[in-house]
Every structure is written in C-alpha cells, then in structure tokens.
Amino acid sequence: MSHYHAVVWLDHNEAHVMHISPGDVEKSVVTPATPHRNLHRKRGSVSGSRQPEDQHFYHEVVEALSGASEILVVGPGHAKLELIKHIHSHDHGVADKVIGVESIDHPSDAQLVAYARKYFVAKDRLLNP
C-alpha cells in the first residue's frame, strides 16, 4: 500500500515509524544493533568529546521511512536532530521530504498518529489556502 505521510518518533533506544494514509496505519519499530550507550563525554577524554552516534541505526530508520512523500520527525531529545544530520549527509533524496521536526515527549502509538494527522492537516491548510 502506498502511503503519503510518515511520522517517526525516536530516541537513542528505538524509533517508531508510522506510515499514515486516510484509512490505514503501518507501524514498524527500529532498534539499534547495539544497546544504547551513554553518549555523554568519553571517560578520560581530554577533549571531552562525545561517543559517536550509531549511523547504522539512523540508516535503518531512513529505510523504514521509504515510500513516504512527506515525513515528520519527532522525539524528546537530540536523536531527532542527529537523524536530520544523517539524512542531510547520507540520504539527500529524503531531506526534501522532511517537512517538520518537533519536540514531543513519549506518546502512545495512537497519540503519535493523532498528532501527525493533525500536523499534516495544518501544514496542508497553510500551503493550500
């Protein structure tokens, strides 16, 4: 089935990807291959740099979003911004499909779908008065 919209809620532990059409929702969950590790400062690092992000995880999230024409990226922390950086660096064709990045806490799947539908309707009204 072809879906026009997709929303992804993610943090560093998992990503919930929802492909949304007027009468259907297809859900998938993507998890990193390695368990979440502390991304804060490296222990004993003079530079105080962070652990590198899991680019494979972000690549799998992008693959789960394939087929969508418009994508909304949401989440509670920095993972959504890291996904956007990954998309701009590695998946240029997907970058134009991302229409919004929003901060939201930990919604249920039903709340996430309702939020996304409301967001897409409002966006469509703004662009097509």
CATH of the domain at 112: 3.30.420.60
Q: What is the pLDDT of residue 1?
A: 40
- Indicate whether 88 belongs to any domain: yes
Helix, strand, or coil (residue 123):
helix
pTM: 0.84
- Indicate whether 115 belongs to any domain: yes
Counting residues of the chain whose pLDDT is more than 90, the rounded percentage is: 66
Q: Cα–Cα distance between 119 and 14 in angstroms, integer?
A: 22
Give the tens place of pLDDT for each residue, 9-26. 999 999 999 999 888 999
**Average pLDDT over all residues of the chain:** 86
Domain that holds residue 13: 5-25+57-127
Q: Cα–Cα distance between 64 and 31 in angstroms, integer?
A: 11
Give the tens place of pLDDT for each residue, 78-119. 999 999 999 999 998 999 999 999 999 999 999 999 999 999
**Tally of domains within the chain:** 1
Cβ distance 73 to 5 under 8 Å?
no
- Indicate whether 48 belongs to any domain: no
